[in-house]
Homo-oligomer: A and B are copies of this chain.
C-alpha cells in the first residue's frame, strides 16, 4: 500500500458541490460535522497547490466587495480521481488517544491525576455534545436534504452520550 495524502480527497470532496477558497475549506473542516477528520491549517494551501499542479482543480481570483480571494473549482479529472478514491476500501482507523492511553496506565497510586483527567474529559464531552446539537439544528434549517449528515451527527451524539455515562460511572467509583 502506497502512502496517499488524504487531505487531497477531503478537499476534492468539498469542491464537488461548490467552488471554494482555501479559507472556506479550512472553516468547513473545523465544523463539528467533520468531527471525524482533523486537519492542520497549514496543510490546506499547499495541498491546493498540489491539486492545481495535478490538474484536479482550477483556480480563479475573485472579488467579494473589495476582498480578494482565490477560488478553486474541481475539474472533470478531479471528479474522476475523487470517485476512484471513494470506491476504494477505506484505510483502517489509526487511532491514537492519549487520554485512553493514560487511563490504561491508571492505578491506585495515580488516583488524583486520574480523577482530574476524567473530569476534564467529561467537560469537553459536554461541550462537544452541545456543538453537535447546534450543528444538527443548523443543518436541519439550512441543508435539510443532507439527511445522511444528520445520521452521522446522530451517531456522534450517541457515542458522546455513551462516553459521558461511562465517565460519570468511573468518577462515582473513585
- A contacts, CB < 8 Å to B: 6, 9-10, 13, 16, 33-38, 82-83, 86-87, 89-91, 93-107, 110, 113, 117, 120, 148-149, 151-152, 154-155, 158-159, 162-163, 166, 170
Residue among B37, B82, B110, B113 making CB contact with A100, cutoff 8 Å: B37
**A111 to B87 Cα, complex, angstroms:** 11
Instruction: Tell me whether A36 and B90 are in contact (CB under 8 A).
Output: no
CB distance from A117 to the nearest CB of B (A): 7
Contacts of A152 in B (CB 8 A): 100, 103-104
Instruction: Tell me whether B100 and A86 are in contact (CB under 8 A).
Output: no
Q: Who on chain B is nearest to A99 by CB?
A: B90
Task: Specify which of A91, A94, A105, A106 lies most central, judged by the most chain B CB atoms within 10 Å of its CB.
Answer: A105
**A97 to B83 Cα, complex, angstroms:** 18
Q: Who on chain B is nearest to A112 by CB?
A: B87
Number of identical monomers bound together in the oligomeric complex: 2
Instruction: Tell me whether A101 and B38 are in contact (CB under 8 A).
Output: no
Contacts of A36 in B (CB 8 A): 95-97, 100-101, 104
Residue contacts A-B, CB under 8 angstroms, 15 given: A9-B101, A13-B101, A33-B104, A35-B95, A36-B104, A38-B94, A82-B105, A86-B113, A90-B98, A90-B102, A93-B95, A93-B97, A106-B148, A155-B162, A162-B162
Contacts of A148 in B (CB 8 A): 103, 106-107
Residue among B13, B90, B99, B120 making CB contact with A93, cutoff 8 Å: B99
